[in-house]
Copies of this chain bind each other. A is one copy, B any other.
Amino acid sequence: MTERPSSRPVRVGLVQARVRPSYDETIENTREKVREASERGAKLVVLGELFASYYFCQTEDPEVFATAETLDGPTVTTMSALAGELGISLVIPFFERRAPGLFHNTLVIAGPDGRSLGVYRKMHIPDDPQFMEKYYFTPGDSPRPGDAPGQAGFSAFQTPQLKVGPLICWDQWYPEAARLTAMKGADILIYPTAIGWLPSEKPTEGAAQLSAWQTMQRSHAIANGTFVAAVNRVGQEGSKETGIEFWGHSFICDPMGRVLAEAGEDEEVLIADLDLSEIENTRKWWPFFRDRRVDAYGAITKRWDEDR
């Protein structure tokens, strides 16, 4: 039986940060902000995509693979210990080395005892000018019968307060990913992200890109009756002429898509209180799951559905 949630809200914190010149400084800055979120009462704290380093996918550089870590490497170990110390759940994205020549864009959810509650490997990998991720990351595994829980594909993980459905950045453009994760029972979909403006595009496309990014993720909340949190980085990486200006604007929205809290374009620890009873209430008034045509969705697994 599914327990009805208590009416006590769950406080969530998002760490919107700027990368520092060195790994140690970045980790230290992140630790401070996680402590701040915890002191302000957050029981779930989410870090940005690949938070421990600059966004290295602007170029294809084989030397970067040396910075990847295993699931028990220093970044996950350090941050998991912090989660245990503070008694919070912490979402820790990092560059994973799974085997020689096999790398993923991954996150671990550490529970309040500092142990892993689950692992998610980014399923949709982009590759655009200055976001050359297909060079670095193998797409996450598909769910297969017999997989250990949470080791592959779309999943949701139970923390003491709520069930967390992790996705990463480019996944945010795929309604399928949101749906499949919500169907795992997620109360909140979280999107650690590294998205920003290219200087050549910002004047004409910048506002539309930011609006599309937020609209798409708010729509996942609405379609699925879940909370959604997007955690982006901030700051200029690379030159002002050719680099990326990460646009921040991390936000949390409720199951109606209402934005509960939104960050600006500087570093910020964003806090929001989630009333989990809104999930059931929203789905009661707009019962979309009742009416899904599961008999008619089979072609979703096709690449395209015209006769070509």
| Residues of A that sit less than 8 Å from B by CB | 2, 123-126, 128, 139, 142-143, 153-154, 170, 173-180, 183-185, 205, 208-209, 211-212, 215-216, 218-219, 222-223, 256-258, 285-289, 291-306, 308
Q: Which residues of B contact A297 (CB under 8 A)?
A: 176, 180, 300-301
User: In the complex the two chains form, is A123's CB within 8 Å of B293's CB?
Assistant: yes
Write out the residue numbers on chain B whose beta carbons fall within 8 Å of the beta carbon of A258.
Answer: 208, 211
Please measure, in the bound complex, the distance between the C-alpha atom of A11 and the C-alpha atom of B35, giving whole angstroms: 56
Partner of A173, one of B216, B218, B286, B295: B286
Closest 6 CB pairs of A and B: A219-B219, A175-B175, A183-B305, A142-B296, A185-B306, A300-B300
- Quote the shortest CB–CB distance from A31 to chain B (angstroms): 34
- A286 → chain B, closest Cβ, in Å? 7
B-side contacts of A209, CB under 8 Å: 256
Q: How far is the CA of A2 from the CA of B308 in the complex (A)?
A: 9
Residues of B near A208 (CB, < 8 A) are: 256-258
Chain B proximity of A152: nearest CB distance (Å): 9
